Amino acid sequence: MGETETVPESQISPSTTEVKEKVWKKYVAEFIGTFVLVFMGCGSAVFLGISISGIVAIAFAFGLSLLVMFYTIGGISGCHINPAVSISMLIRGKITAKDTVAYIIAQCAGAIVGAGVLYLVAIGSPSYSLANGLGQNGYAEASPGGYSLASAFVVEVVLTFLLLLVIHGSTSEKVPKGFAGIAMGLSLVLIHIVGIPVTGTSVNPARSLGPALIVGGTALNQLWLFWVAPIIGAILAAALWNALE
């Protein structure tokens, strides 16, 4: 009888169970990342309020949340923490349709839990009521600056488009490595400084979903815009980057 050949461990295909475990790590990472973004970003809006200094602080809270999460979970899931990003990556062929759906579910769940925990903290103050809001987005009477539906739609499309251009560009193979998180985080700061007076700044359907579900009423009725506009911006950015790259 011939000797049995020993197959190097590196050539053994991972079991189905091992593959599933690795896949679930990506979804958990997206859940955690979106939870942090909503809890920290919307939390700054709840606790600081909308003023000139408050807008800057809120903008940095969102931007820094994205930055630190990129370097925390980027190696696991890519740190999308935004359905618009996942859809844009799908169009560019960077992620499968199956992962896109799972990512969006995980992101929405993280946003809802993040908003829920934020609410539990906020109600600990005697001066807080749900009428004060939970960092939700809005237009017309729900806009911080009273901006119309048309203004809100345009700004959300444009700002999401710009955010996705930065994401696609900074993560390109043609740029220096290790700086993508900084570019993405700072771009989100700039986007919030411009967008907060208009809509409270969404550019992220999951981020809008969490607070809206808890606040209800107008926030929930206007939620459609903060899904449709960011997704349009994300699709346009993916199409343009495919043409440019």
Q: pLDDT tens across 177-233, in order? A: 889 999 999 999 999 999 999 999 999 999 999 999 999 999 999 999 999 999 999
User: CA 65 to CA 181: how far, in whole Å?
Assistant: 10
For domain 18-244, give the fold: Glycerol uptake facilitator protein (1.20.1080)
- Residue 177, by phi and psi: left (phi above 0), alpha (psi -120 to 50) or beta? beta
Nearest Cα neighbor of 198 from 157, 244, 139, 150 is: 139
H helices of 92-143, in order, are 97-122
Parts of the chain with a pLDDT under 70 = 1-21
pLDDT at 19: 52
pLDDT at 17: 52
Measured in degrees and rounded to the nearest 5, phi and psi for residue 148 equal -75, 170
The model carries a pTM of 0.90
Largest CA distance in the chain: 85
pLDDT at 173: 87
C-alpha count within 13 angstroms, C-beta hemisphere, residue 168: 29
pLDDT at 9: 40
Say what angle helices 205-215 and 16-48 make with each other, to 10 degrees. Answer: 60
